């Protein structure tokens, strides 16, 4: 029975409202004796039923909720035969809850839109070489799928034939179509705007980037910030306080109507709902603009950040370095290049890939053994020769003589340095240069306008290269030759001084720093590692989303404070009005409460359309 009543709150609210209108119509126009009172009593009983059930459920778990206060107040009003106020209070409470739920659902529109974008079917290639439409749940890793113009990509996959332009707004927040060709990666939930492609499935279902984004946003919206936990705790003690206050007032004044009115006026509804609605709307806006905020706690900490530390490669720069200069110190550069290409082909480091691509050697000698030196390079054995490939520090640790003037010359041009030595002798010096991301200086200037005082770059690259980048971008500090442990130590030092630090990295090489900083911000196109190791993910490695993210969390934090002030202010005004005016009563108090709840919800919903404009 209780489940039926609770599931019927909407029709109960409607019936209650109709009965109240009927009572007033009879009172002012028809004048049938006692009918208005009977109708109002029926409206009160019908209306109080779901509220009383919720109150009972709360008391069973030893919580004095708002429902408890309203139930006691309505029962008290019925006892003293104040039927008009008992009926109006129950109706306003139920109607307010209905409007509250309806408007709250709008703040969750981002996750709803994301869920609706989830693909439901796919054209799967079977053994008879025919494509058949199947449910997306029937697609497995390794299956070949066909995607036609206008269709949603059903899985994460790799293009094996064809080409086209895909709208990746559901993943990156950027509506500009992206060209895809053979070997390009495509993501579930994106839309092929033109062209036809065949893809091989890499990830399905919840394992896709789109699935992880939905899961992340859902978890974030359900999480609680420190402010929310405080308000929950505050409400736990506040509502019993209001109950005892009402009892105390009655014992002193013997005015039961005054005591009942205090119960209604003391309801902390707007206070309880104000902070969550701001958080939900803020997280929803982030998802809309390609910024994934992993929970309400992140919003609180991120809004206070004054220091942001950046990794250089792949963050401030494009992460696609190219060989700019090469100098040989051997009479046989072909052998030097072969050995170098063999060793670097064993690594997935961006500099190594740039060298292998630049040399373009096909038939490589076999690398017999390798020893990866963290933050230094690689020591390998190739055809019984010791080959050392790495930075200056690594070769100096092996006591290999270097050409200092050539190194300084390349470093002064902003090159990263890769040295190669064979059997203890330097054979080549390579300068590799990475381009700074377009518009990154504009984005950093926007961060400064948002109150960030310190913009710092930490890099494993040489100091001259890092200084050049810092000078061009106007950064506060630049530190080169930094190993992962050096970066972590630098962050700990700042934290020991009381600074809240945000670190922006690629989510893979910088995972210790991402984990250590208060706010870890990953640059990455929704990769698993980026999502798992960071607090904030900037989709599509787009640094321009960082100012929006910071502006959003500041606006969300401010919005929460506004809602708290509104909620507390309304309660104070109502209580004071009760004691120092003649016009305050239960009905007006409940109406003011429901109005304040709608005000804080609508105030929070403004964040859905937030967009940084500087």
Is 589 contained in some domain?
no
Is 18 contained in some domain?
no
Domain boundary among the residues 376, 408, 433 is at 433
Question: For residue 528, what pLDDT is reported?
Answer: 56
Domain boundary among the residues 380, 411, 433 is at 433
Specify the CATH number for the domain of residue 349.
3.40.1110.10
Active site residue 311: yes
* Phi, psi for residue 118 in degrees, rounded to 5: -60, 130
Domain boundary among the residues 433, 468, 492 is at 433
pLDDT along the chain (614 residues), means of 10: 87 93 90 90 94 90 81 86 86 80 59 68 88 92 92 92 84 70 89 91 84 66 60 74 88 88 80 79 84 81 93 80 91 94 85 89 89 86 94 92 90 87 95 87 94 92 85 92 84 91 76 82 62 75 89 93 90 88 83 84 88 72
Candidates 67, 143, 156, 311; catalytic one:
311
Domains in the chain, number: 2
Question: For residue 308, what pLDDT is reported?
Answer: 96
Which is it for strands 144-147 and 178-180: parallel, antiparallel or unpaired? unpaired
Q: Which domain holds residue 403?
A: 322-433
Is 125 contained in some domain?
yes
Is 62 contained in some domain?
no
CA 70/CA 93 separation, integer angstroms? 8
Question: For residue 153, what pLDDT is reported?
Answer: 92
Buried b (16+ CB within 10 A) or exposed e, 40-71: bbbbbbbbbbbbbbbbeebeeeeebbbbbbbb
* Phi, psi for residue 305 in degrees, rounded to 5: -65, 130
3-state secondary structure of 500: coil
Specify the CATH number for the domain of residue 192.
2.70.150.10
Is 358 contained in some domain?
yes
- pTM equals 0.69
DSSP 524: S
The candidate with the shortest Cα–Cα distance to 462, out of 428, 414, 506, 419, is: 414
Number of H helices, E strands in the chain: 23, 20
The candidate with the shortest Cα–Cα distance to 550, out of 534, 536, 531, is: 536
Question: For residue 526, what pLDDT is reported?
Answer: 44
Is 228 contained in some domain?
no
Is 164 contained in some domain?
yes
């Amino acid at each position: 029975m209780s489940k039926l009543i609770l599931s019927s709150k909407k029709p109960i609210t409607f019936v209650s409202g109709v009965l109240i209108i009927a009572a007033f119509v009879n009172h002012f126009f028809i004048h049938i004796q006692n009918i208005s009172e009977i109708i109002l009593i029926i409206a009160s009983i019908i209306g109080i039923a779901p509220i009383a059930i919720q109150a009972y459920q709360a008391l069973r778990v030893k919580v004095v909720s708002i429902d408890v206060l309203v139930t006691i107040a309505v029962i008290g009003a019925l006892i003293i035969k104040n039927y008009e106020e008992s009926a109006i209070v129950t109706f306003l409470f139920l109607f307010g809850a209905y409007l509250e739920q309806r408007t709250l659902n709008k703040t969750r529109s981002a996750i709803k839109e994301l869920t609706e974008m989830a693909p439901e079917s796919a054209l799967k290639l079977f053994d008879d070489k025919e494509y058949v439409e199947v449910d997306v749940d029937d697609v497995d890793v390794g299956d070949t799928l066909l995607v036609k113009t206008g269709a949603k990509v059903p899985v994460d996959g790799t293009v094996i034939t064809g080409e086209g332009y895909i709208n990746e707004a559901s993943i990156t927040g950027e509506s500009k179509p992206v060209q895809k060709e053979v070997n390009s990666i495509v993501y579930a939930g994106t839309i092929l705007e033109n062209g036809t492609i065949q893809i091989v499935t890499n990830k399905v279902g919840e394992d896709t980037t789109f699935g992880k984004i939905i899961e992340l946003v859902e978890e974030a919206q359900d999480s609680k910030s420190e402010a929310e936990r405080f308000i929950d705790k505050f409400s736990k003690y506040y509502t019993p306080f209001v109950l005892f206050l009402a009892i105390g007032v009655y014992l002193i004044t013997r005015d039961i109507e005054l005591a009942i009115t205090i119960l209604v006026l003391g309801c902390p509804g707007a206070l309880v709902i104000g902070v969550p609605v701001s958080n939900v709307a803020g997280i929803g806006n982030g998802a809309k603009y390609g910024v994934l905020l992993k929970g309400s706690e992140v919003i609180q900490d991120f809004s206070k950040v004054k220091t942001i530390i950046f990794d250089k490669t792949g963050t401030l720069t494009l992460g696609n370095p190219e060989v700019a200069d090469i100098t040989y110190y051997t009479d046989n550069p072909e052998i030097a290049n072969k050995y170098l290409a063999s060793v670097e082909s064993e690594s997935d480091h961006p500099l190594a890939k740039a060298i292998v691509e630049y040399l373009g050697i096909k038939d490589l000698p076999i690398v017999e053994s390798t020893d990866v030196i963290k933050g230094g390079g690689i020591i390998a054995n190739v055809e019984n020769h010791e080959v050392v490939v790495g930075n200056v520090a690594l070769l100096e640790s092996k006591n290999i003589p270097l050409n200092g003037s050539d190194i300084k010359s390349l470093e002064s041009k902003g090159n990263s340095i890769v040295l190669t030595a064979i059997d203890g002798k330097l054979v080549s010096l390579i300068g590799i240069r990475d381009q700074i991301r377009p518009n990154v200086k504009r984005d950093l200037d926007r961060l400064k306008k948002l109150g960030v005082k310190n913009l710092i770059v930490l890099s494993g690259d040489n100091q001259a290269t890092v200084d050049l980048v810092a000078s061009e971008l106007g950064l506060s500090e630049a530190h080169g030759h930094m190993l992962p442990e050096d970066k972590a130590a630098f962050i700990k030092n700042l934290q020991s001084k009381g600074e809240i630090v945000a670190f922006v990295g690629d989510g893979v090489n910088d995972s210790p720093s991402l984990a250590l900083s208060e706010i870890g911000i990953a640059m990455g196109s929704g990769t698993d590692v980026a999502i798992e190791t960071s607090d904030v993910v900037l989709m599509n490695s787009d640094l321009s989303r960082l100012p929006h993210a910071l502006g959003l969390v500041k606006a969300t934090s401010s919005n929460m404070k506004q809602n708290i002030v509104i909620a507390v202010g309304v309660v104070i005004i109502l209580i004071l009005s009760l004691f120092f005016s003649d016009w305050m009563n239960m009905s007006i108090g409940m109406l003011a409460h429901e109005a304040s709840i709608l005000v804080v919800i609508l105030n929070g919903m403004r964040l859905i359309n937030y967009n940084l404009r500087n």
